[in-house]
Amino acid sequence: MNKLPSPKRSLVFFLVPHFTLLPFSGAIETLRIANRMLGYTAYDWRIASVDGEKVYSSSGIGIEVNSSLADERRYLTGGNRPNMAIVCSGVYVEEFRNKSVNAWLREAYNRNVIIGSLCTGAHVLASAGLLNGKRCAIHWENLPGFAENFPQAEVYADLYEIDGNLYTCAGGTASLDMMLNIIGQDFGEGLVNRVCEQHLTDRVRNANDRQRLPLRARLGVQNSKVLQIIELMEANLAEPLSLLEIADHADLSRRQIERLFRQEMGRSPARYYLEIRLDRARHLLVQSSMPVVEVAVACGFVSASHFSKCYRELYNRSPQQERAERKLVKSSNRSGVVV
């Protein structure tokens, strides 16, 4: 009887409370389909948590695990050492602080275990000090807070990033793309295509494909000059450009820009610029513990009082109220999960 080939990779998926179910299940299903197409277990995996107990996702669905953090630390020096450890997280990741998890990730990395993350998991890797000077990806909604909290990391709004033995993924369906990249490394394009057919996926996306819809589709704007100006604004939030500087970049007059924005966006360019800066501020307020004055500076406001005034005018509440309401929602969501 012919002996089946040994597993190509052994993975451990580490679940952080309130992890996002879609990227987690998408990653595992991609590996399962690869095994099915190959006809043997090329990829095996187990699921771990801090205490070895069931972990609940952000949707309230609980997942049973196979091991605890203590088990995984022992496995690093034995036959059960994985080839890859992937941190799966989601909402509230900024509140997850565990020195033992950080130590485990560092030890695994130092023992040449590939370290990965799904969705917001890059936050955990950065907390462990693994992303200093490294390229990484995180979900676009969490990118502003992450960039402020971990300035040493080179974070990008890509689907996934691979930097040496570090694999980070933005979450959502991007976990499929990252896993397909791994399968392609191991078995080539033929198997990747077969897995895609089973997924009903018509193409493999590149790592640097956009996370979000292009501005043209997201905003419903067709004018290329307006889109160019908006991209310029989004790239300069901490130190806003003057309308004169924007006009120079766009090769338009101030009056032409004013007219275009009134036609396409229904407001002045200054108003639109203010709104996207305040939107970034809102993300920072709910995703980080940065003081309000630091949030104001990060979003291009010269003073906390001016920032608060503008924020209240747009959202009908102060930055402090925004943060307090967010904490209340978090508490309510936690108590609403069935355990």
Backbone φ and ψ of 275, nearest 5°: -65, -40
| Eight-class DSSP state of 156 | E
Helices 269-287, 254-264: inter-axial angle, 10-degree rounding: 70
Query: First CA to last CA across the chain, in angstroms?
Result: 47
Q: Give residue 171's Cα distance to chain centre.
A: 6
C-alpha to C-alpha distances, 194 to 34, 83, 205, 308, nearest whole angstrom? 8, 24, 15, 54
C-alpha to C-alpha distances, 211 to 137, 157, 190, 194, 295, nearest whole angstrom? 10, 6, 26, 24, 24
Identity at 333, one-letter amino acid code: N
What CA–CA distance (Å, rounded) separates 234 from 301? 15
What CA–CA distance (Å, rounded) separates 76 from 167? 19
What CA–CA distance (Å, rounded) separates 280 from 98? 28
222-226 long-range contacts, CB within 8 A, separation 24+: 223/260, 223/264, 225/250, 225/252, 225/260, 226/260, 226/261, 226/264, 226/265
3-class state of residue 148 by DSSP: helix
Tokens 């043997």, located at residue: 40
| Eight-class DSSP state of 52 | S
| 5 contacts 44 by C-beta, under 8 angstroms | no
**Structure tokens, 112:** 């040449």
What CA–CA distance (Å, rounded) separates 199 from 193? 10
DSSP string spanning 167-226? EEE-STTHHHHHHHHHHHHHH-HHHHHHHHHHHT---PPPTTSBSSPPHHHHHT---HHH
Residue-level pLDDT, tens digit, the chain, 339 residues: 455 565 689 999 999 999 999 999 999 999 999 999 999 999 999 999 999 999 999 999 999 999 999 999 999 998 899 999 999 999 889 889 999 999 999 999 999 999 999 999 999 999 999 999 999 999 888 888 888 889 999 998 889 999 999 999 998 989 999 999 999 999 999 999 999 999 888 777 777 776 665 666 677 788 889 989 998 998 899 899 999 999 999 999 999 999 999 998 999 999 999 999 999 899 888 877 788 999 999 999 989 999 999 999 999 999 999 888 876 665 555 554 433
Give the per-residue pLDDT at 336: 46
Give the per-residue pLDDT at 339: 32
Tokens 């102060």, located at residue: 318
Q: For 155, how many CA atoms within 13 A lie in the half-sphere containing its CB?
A: 27
What CA–CA distance (Å, rounded) separates 299 from 259? 26
Considering only CA atoms, which of 126, 164, 121, 165 is closest in space to residue 147?
126
Q: What is the pTM of this model?
A: 0.77
**Structure tokens, 99:** 């020195």
Give the per-residue pLDDT at 207: 78
Tokens 């409370």, located at residue: 17
Task: Name residue 12's beta-bridge partners.
Answer: 46, 85
